[in-house]
Structure 1
Amino acid sequence: MADTKCDNNKNTAVRFMINYSVRFLSGALFLYCCWIPFQNLTGWFSYHVILCTFGYLPLMAEAIMMFVGDDIWSKNISRKAKYAIHGIIITVATVVTIVGNILVFVYIQTGYHLYTEHGITGLISMIILIISLILGLAVYYPNQAKNILPLRPVTIKLLHNVCGLLGFGFGIISLCYGYFTHWFIYYNGEESRYAALILTILVSLWPLHGAFVSLYHQVKSVLNS
């Protein structure tokens, strides 16, 4: 029994360290991506980079990490408060990302951005995130939603989570493609870009792994109900 408790404490400590390492690296990646744009805030493209990066890395990653477990601040609040905070963070992140994408779609008149891997995955992410946000409202207000969506609340919640994970995943893929756009190559060296690519993948996998575990249990619950 004592050995089991000791192992659990060690696992909790390890997960705690990983949680906050991920947060630190998310902040570092955000600064890396936005260092040049911060120095040129007069250009509209700078706001595209800042807003989209901020929406995905610190904000969405944090909203997903709330449900990873062994996270001190979110572990000590009620489930209702956790869902409310999660909803607020995701809403802000989605709005920030939409504004950042609108900037590049409007100001690049040729539409070239939409023909790149970076632009296509970014657009897919934005669309899925909007759907996820609508489903999230349906989850939070089930009585009002049942008259609009003929689905069980547990099914709506599952769809919301699936869309949220897909939206975040496509956003991270878009960010990774962004490291190889002409603009990013011009301002950043090859070594730093590949280092940022690897760190972005690692930082994203941690919150996603916890979310997928939760999603697995949700799918079982829906199938068994």
Structure 2
Amino acid sequence: MAPNEEPQKSSVETKVKYLEVLFNTINHALIGYVTIYLSYVSYMNGFEHLFTWHIFLCAVGYHFFMAESFLTLYSSNSWTSLNTAGTKRHIHWILQTIGFVAIFTGTGIEIYMKERNKRSHFKSDHAITGLVSMVFIVLSLLNGIASYFSLKIKHIIRPVYVKLGHYLTGIVAFVIGMVSLALEYSPRRMQSVENKNMLISFTTIVIALTLVGAVKTMYGQFKGLCR
């Protein structure tokens, strides 16, 4: 390598790092904005209505807790960058657990309401994608438990495969769940067509920026498998 190539490489890596931090900050702002807006919409609908709790719990479950749980493991994440790997994993588990409880409770409320009103289940695109997401949430949770004990079961399956399975099922659960939310962004519920379009745009950006760290980690694991 030429003497001047190393400084140039270091300079590029520094610029990329700054960009990652910038986009991570933007992502946190969008996550916060959409979460607050959906919470406001829920408040305006009235928390005395059960359906409001379905909207609120699923919204904060996916858009805040699941998104932030992914970001805790991202090296450029602003509020966990100085934590140890072990601390990041613990925060990741706590946020995901809260998100799962919120999502399953919110979905359970909707199922209860349909049962009470003698209505069919899982007929709309929103409901079907929500169900698929929940299936992958369960798979992700099981893979996560296996990943936690991956060193103890390495004689059965290599830890890298368990971790890849956890990442893949988690990504699918998160993406489909966010799509399910977006399918319910109607002008009536979001108070205008402009608000609906804004929320769909912000949700799309959040999905993309949230998965940057997970995709980078998976790419590194795939490279390790190919060696």
Output the TM-score relative to the length of structure 1.
Answer: 0.87
1:114 positional shift: 1.0
1:156 positional shift: 1.3
Task: Tell me if the contact between 1:30 and 1:53 (Cα under 8 Å) persists in the aligned partners.
Answer: yes
Task: Tell me if the contact between 2:190 and 2:196 (Cα under 8 Å) persists in the aligned partners.
Answer: no
1:1-225 correspondence to structure 2 within 5 Å: 4-39=9-44, 40-109=46-115, 110-112=118-120, 114-142=122-150, 146=153, 150-180=156-186, 185-186=188-189, 188-224=191-227
Task: Tell me if the contact between 1:15 and 1:70 (Cα under 8 Å) persists in the aligned partners.
Answer: yes
1:49 positional shift: 0.8
1:55 positional shift: 0.8
Task: Structure 1 unaligned segments of length 5 or more: list them.
Answer: none
Task: Tell me if the contact between 1:132 and 1:160 (Cα under 8 Å) persists in the aligned partners.
Answer: yes
Indicate the larger mover: 30-39 or 17-26: 30-39
SS of the aligned residue for 2:54 comes to helix
Per-residue CA shift, 1:5-50, capped at 9, x if unaligned?
A: 5544443333222212211111111122231322411111111111
Structure 2 CA distance for partners of 1:153 and 1:104, relative to 1, 3 Å? same
1:169 positional shift: 0.7
1:177 positional shift: 0.6
SS of the aligned residue for 1:75 comes to coil
SS of the aligned residue for 1:60 comes to helix
SS of the aligned residue for 1:88 comes to helix
SS of the aligned residue for 1:73 comes to coil
Percent same amino acid at aligned positions? 26
Task: Structure 2 unaligned segments of length 5 or more: list them.
Answer: 1-5
1:223 positional shift: 5.0
CA distance in 1, matches of 2:112, 2:221: 39
SS of the aligned residue for 2:47 comes to coil
Indicate the larger mover: 26-35 or 197-206: 26-35
Task: Tell me if the contact between 1:135 and 1:160 (Cα under 8 Å) persists in the aligned partners.
Answer: yes
Paired residues in the alignment total 219
Indicate the larger mover: 15-24 or 109-118: 109-118
- RMSD of the alignment, in Å? 2.3
CA distance in 2, matches of 1:70, 1:156: 24
Output the TM-score relative to the length of structure 2.
Answer: 0.86
Structure 2 CA distance for partners of 1:142 and 1:8, relative to 1, 3 Å? closer
Structure (1 or 2) with the greater helix fraction:
1
SS of the aligned residue for 1:178 comes to coil
1:112 positional shift: 4.1
